[in-house]
Amino acid sequence: MVVHEWPVVSGQDLSRALISQVAAIHHSELSGGFLSSLGLPVLETIFLFARDSRHGDLIAALDQANERVAGFVLGSIDPGQFFREFLKSRFFAALRVFAPRLLSVRRLRRAAETLLYPHKRPRIALPQAELFDLAVSREYQRKGCGQAIFRAFVEVMRARGISRFRISSGEGLAGAHAFYESMGASKAGEFELHRGEKTLVYVYRIHNEGLSER
């Protein structure tokens, strides 16, 4: 599929090499996040799972001329099922790469907070489907790549019968907030994902009749 001149790939079209590039973009462009602090092997484990999960949607935009991933978006129609499936199917494999990175009380607490995340919604009605992360490699920013992969994600949600999805973003990420608002998302509330760190929640509505309000 091509969206605004950016070819996008998903599912089994994402080779192990492309997954490694996705992980590297997450690590460099979302460096302040908890998952990035766990290192590239952990990120690769998560993205490989997301590629194969029936509850996850991982989409990457490609720079075909240079055979490189330019950016990616990750989301789920059911975050609770996504995390439960990860623990059920990849727990022991993940433990081998996670354990050495979790040798501190703070990281153990943040890992638990991340896994319990689906139950920490603001006390307002929110859609179940969610866009977790969107990142574009620095050299491809301001070239339409972010908009292309966001729109590709919208089309995947539309095909799955979803009419709305939520987006969580750390309070300090003003650039991300501006981007989501420019794409038509509206701020819906806030909550505390990690202790002492406020997270803002946006909702994006897909304008098409007959879609599920999940």
> Which pairing describes strands 186-194 and 164-170: parallel, antiparallel, or unpaired?
unpaired
Q: Which residues pair with 75 in a beta bridge?
A: 57, 131
Which residues, at least 6 apart from 196, have a Cβ–Cβ distance to it below 8 Å?
A: none
Around 102, how many Cα atoms within 13 Å sit in the side-chain half-sphere? 13
User: In terms of Cα–Cα distance, which of 55, 69, 81, 57 is closest to 26?
Assistant: 69
d(CA 122, CA 108): 23
d(CA 161, CA 75): 15
d(CA 193, CA 213): 24
Instruction: Provide the pLDDT for residue 1.
Output: 55
Instruction: Provide the pLDDT for residue 38.
Output: 75
Quote the pTM value: 0.82
Instruction: Provide the pLDDT for residue 61.
Output: 97
Residue 140 has a CB neighbour count (10 Å cut-off) of 18
Domains of the chain: 2-205 (3.40.630.30)
DSSP state of 162: B
Q: What is the pLDDT along the chain (214 residues), one digit of tens a residue?
A: 544 479 999 999 999 999 999 999 999 999 877 677 778 888 898 899 999 999 999 999 999 888 899 999 999 999 989 988 988 887 666 666 666 555 554 554 555 555 555 555 555 678 999 999 999 999 999 999 999 999 999 999 999 999 999 998 887 888 999 999 999 999 988 876 656 678 889 999 997 655 555 5
User: In terms of Cα–Cα distance, which of 78, 84, 85, 90 is closest to 42?
Assistant: 90
Instruction: Provide the pLDDT for residue 33.
Output: 73
Most distant CA atoms of the chain, gap in Å: 49
Instruction: Provide the pLDDT for residue 66.
Output: 87
